[in-house]
Structure 1
Amino acid sequence: MTARFVRSATALAVAAAGTLTWAPTVSAEPYEPTPSASAAPVQTPAPDAGTIEITTKDPAGDALPGAEFLLLDSLGQEAGRGQSDAQGKLTFPDLALGIYRLKETASGSRLHEVVPDQDVIVTPGATTRLSIVDPFKAANVLVQAKDDKTGKLLAGSTVNIGSGDKTLLTLTTGSGGTASGKLPVNTSTGSVFWVKQIKAPAGYHIYESSKEFKAKPGDPVTVTVTHARTATSPPPTEKPSGKPAEKPTAKPTPSQHGADENVPTASVSRTPAADETAPSTAVPAPAGSLAHTGADATPWLIGGAAALTAAGAGALVLARRRRTDNASDGGSTAS
């Protein structure tokens, strides 16, 4: 039965040979070259391909989805681009051997900063794994120093700002009474900092030694320090010391104008005669005056006349005494 079926099939094939002989030829041609043609582009680069795998997170260890990266080859051409997934992962596969530049173009979060660019080496058949930690944005701190009574902004106030036992910033207020800086924040809810005054403005002393404040990532925060005026500061009227001493405080001396009007001169005190007048002898002729006219001899003449008068008076008194003595002697003889 089987032999009879084979012979029938053979006869049928031979009978139809005129129309079916081309079919095996057509079906065999695409079948034989297909494996070599399709395998060439897939298998050729496989031994030289490498992979870069990125994991993004923040300082707290939480994954950062949506972070955007750009990969450039050694010629600066784009070799890949993508975003991290919900687990913070991103992969660049099938990379040729070489050095690539990885750029983070966005962190995917308003609270985080991007990291600086970095070079990545790709080796054949290996996966290069990178852990990218995007820091929280720094807080912007503004320090202002004020008078505790008037609220006036003060220059020259120096403060330290830190966290824990570390000093992070040292700021000194300028002419406008303010100073600014950036503070690193380690959590999404913010960090606690302390501010301590270490130097007061001129004429003031430190009013508050230290106090605390909280700052969140990327947020501005204003810190106000106050100073009390020192009690020992000199009043404004005492600043020009030494100048009041230059003003005359003593009474006018006889050499000054008008002082000799009330002071008797030596010539007046020596004149015994009543008819002598002070104006003629009070003031001697100053050096450099007009030529002498003979009036300078007047004091000598007056003095001589006074001496003669005194001598005559003395002689008269003496003569009277002698007469009295003689009279007394004659009387005694007559008796």
Structure 2
Amino acid sequence: MVLGLIIPATAAWAQTPEPTSTTPAEAPRTEPGRLKITATDATGAPVTGASFQLRDATGAESGQGTTDAFGALDLPSLAPGVYRLSQTGAHDTHYARVPDRDVVVTPGATTTVAINVPFQQSKITVRATDARSGRPLSGATVSLRTDDHTITTLTTTVTGTAAYEIPMSHEVTRVWIRQVRPPHGYETSTAERAVTLTAGEPVTISLSFKTEAAAATSSPPRAASPTAPAGGHALRGHTSPNPSPSGTSSPAASRAKRPSTAAEGTLAQTGAGTTSYYAALAGGLLIIGALALVLARRRARRLR
């Protein structure tokens, strides 16, 4: 009986598992990644001296640097993950800063990021003034264009100015400015003016306008139109050397074109002269009539 109890206990002890180690296993290591940045401008030229900063998901800086003479920046030994890339500066003030962007670094690989750095815009201001007083003028409209397309149209406000920021595709650009409509009461000029713009540098263009009355005064006097001779008489066959542009004849020309009963080289009767002529004719007829009456009476007496 005692032997039977001992045997099962010995068997149970022999089946108890041995204790295991509680030390955690090491996680597999991941290879670091690399970020390569290349910066160029709108013309394809490398941008030297552009500074960039890389931050991880917590906002901590993970890398920073400046592009070299080839516009390249290499940031090695980066833990795989998503980063925020920001431009912090530029050596050339003609360049603008690019907006922030997210980049992904993969383990054991090189991530290449191509960045196009734009030129800064150039602000152009148009100022319109009165040529005599210098007073600012509103309502002056001008157009801006390059050699191949129109950029915009500007109209000056009550301050006499209008401004526009022109996107620059090159560091230096030439634009043309032309008057489209002058302020009310001022003369128009169709001349164009060339203006050279540099990225990031403002330019002011001053335009002066003359009033229409001043422009008319400064213009050469017009030749006076010929008039008919004094006294209301015009030579037969005389016409004006400058006919009316509307195609109608002047009064002097109309009188000159009328047929005249006077002999060649004499003056035609016009106006008050015509009235005197008819009065003399009537008087002559009255005298002739009176003489005829007297002669008729005398003849009648003789017949008696």
Distance 1:164 1:73 in 2: 46
Distance 1:95 1:170 in 2: 51
Gaps of 5+ in 1: 1-39, 233-335
How far residue 122 of structure 1 moved from its aligned partner, in angstroms, is 2.1
SS in 2 for 1:103: strand
Distance 1:171 1:121 in 2: 45
SS in 2 for 1:168: strand
CA RMSD of aligned residues (A): 2.6
Preserved contact between residue 143 and residue 177 of structure 2 (Cα < 8 Å): yes
Distance 1:86 1:69 in 2: 15
Alignment of 1:55-70 (within 5 A): 55-70=38-53
- The alignment status of 1:195 with 2:177, answered yes or no, reads yes
Distance 1:146 1:218 in 2: 26
How far residue 60 of structure 1 moved from its aligned partner, in angstroms, is 2.5
How far residue 108 of structure 1 moved from its aligned partner, in angstroms, is 1.6
Of 154, 171, 175, the residue aligned with 2:158 is 175
Distance 1:196 1:121 in 2: 50
Q: TM-score, normalised by structure 1?
A: 0.51
Preserved contact between residue 144 and residue 179 of structure 1 (Cα < 8 Å): yes
Distance 1:175 1:63 in 2: 44
Q: TM-score, normalised by structure 2?
A: 0.56
* CA displacement, residues 24-50 of structure 1 (integer Å, 9 cap, x when unaligned): xxxxxxxxxxxxxxxx99x9231xx32
* CA displacement, residues 265-319 of structure 1 (integer Å, 9 cap, x when unaligned): xxxxxxxxxxxxxxxxxxxxxxxxxxxxxxxxxxxxxxxxxxxxxxxxxxxxxxx
Partner of residue 88, structure 1: 71
Aligned length: 190
Partner of residue 201, structure 2: 219
Distance 1:136 1:44 in 2: 44
Preserved contact between residue 104 and residue 116 of structure 1 (Cα < 8 Å): yes
How far residue 231 of structure 1 moved from its aligned partner, in angstroms, is 4.6
Partner of residue 116, structure 1: 99
The code of the aligned residue for 2:128 comes to A
Return the structure number with greater helix share. 1
SS in 2 for 1:204: coil
Partner of residue 45, structure 1: 30
- The alignment status of 1:131 with 2:94, answered yes or no, reads no
The code of the aligned residue for 1:44 comes to R
Based on CA coordinates, which of the two structures has the bigger radius of gyration? 1
Preserved contact between residue 81 and residue 104 of structure 2 (Cα < 8 Å): yes
- The alignment status of 1:74 with 2:90, answered yes or no, reads no
Distance 1:180 1:165 in 2: 21
Preserved contact between residue 36 and residue 110 of structure 2 (Cα < 8 Å): yes
Distance 1:225 1:50 in 2: 59
Distance 1:177 1:199 in 2: 14
The code of the aligned residue for 1:142 comes to T
Distance 2:169 2:181 in 1: 29
Gaps of 5+ in 2: 1-25, 215-304
- The alignment status of 1:102 with 2:82, answered yes or no, reads no
Flag the 1:98–1:205 CA change in 2: closer, same or farther, 3 A. farther
Of 116, 121, 146, the residue aligned with 2:129 is 146
Distance 1:174 1:50 in 2: 57
